[in-house]
Amino acid sequence: MSLSTLSVPNNIKFDEAIELTQAFLLQLKKQELTPAQIQDFVSELVQTANGARGFFVTYLTSPDPICDEPQPEIIAALHAHPEVAADLLVKNIAMSTAQQIYHQRRNDSDMATSSATVAARTTKIIQQLNLPQIWDMCRELVASIETGTGSYSDFLTRWGYDEEQKTAIAQAVAPLSV
């Protein structure tokens, strides 16, 4: 699948976004894309919630080390769409941090390591984006953890995080709320 076939449909579905991101990562690894093509593709993909969700789930969980250091063009594309990227990134750091504890409790070191990788990659992207929206959301997440109310209380309740997981989440996001 070449870049010319990596066109993002207007009403992209989550599974389509995953498939496109997998093809994109393959081309990225083979160095078949120009910096402009990288930025344009990611920018187009993350314009919608489904596209951004598919991108992040694929990019952050990829076993390929190319995803350990996000290219400047990927950061620029995400920076252009902070309204979609910010909330997903904050939730990704929370979920991967909580999942790491979950897997450690079950002595599943492979999955715990995978969750730690997702958390580290997400943290790196958040730091490179340096967006005030993300800082605010991180503060809101910590406040929801501390008070049991606020904009992230439903999210925390829906996933059923316990006190140890919430404490770990707060510790992970507090440094990101500059």
Q: Parse the chain into domains and list their residue ranges.
A: 3-131
CA of 73: how far to CAs of 35, 149, 158, 172, in Å? 6, 37, 34, 26
For residue range 70-124, what is the model confidence (pLDDT) as tens digits? 999 999 999 999 989 999 999 999 999 999 999 999 999 999 999 999 999 999 9
Residue 2 has pLDDT above 70, yes or no: no
Residue 178 has pLDDT above 90, yes or no: no
Residue 36 has pLDDT above 70, yes or no: yes
Query: What is the reported pLDDT for 7?
Result: 85
Q: Could you tell me the end-to-end alpha-carbon distance of the chain, in angstroms, rounded to an integer?
A: 41
Model confidence, pTM: 0.92
User: In 97-129, which positions are buried (b, 16+ CB within 10 angstroms) versus exposed (e)?
Assistant: bbbbbbbeeeeeeeebebbbbbbebbbebbebb
Tokens of 168: 């770990």
For residue range 60-71, what is the model confidence (pLDDT) as tens digits? 999 999 999 999
CA distance linking residue 174 with residue 70, whole number of Å: 22
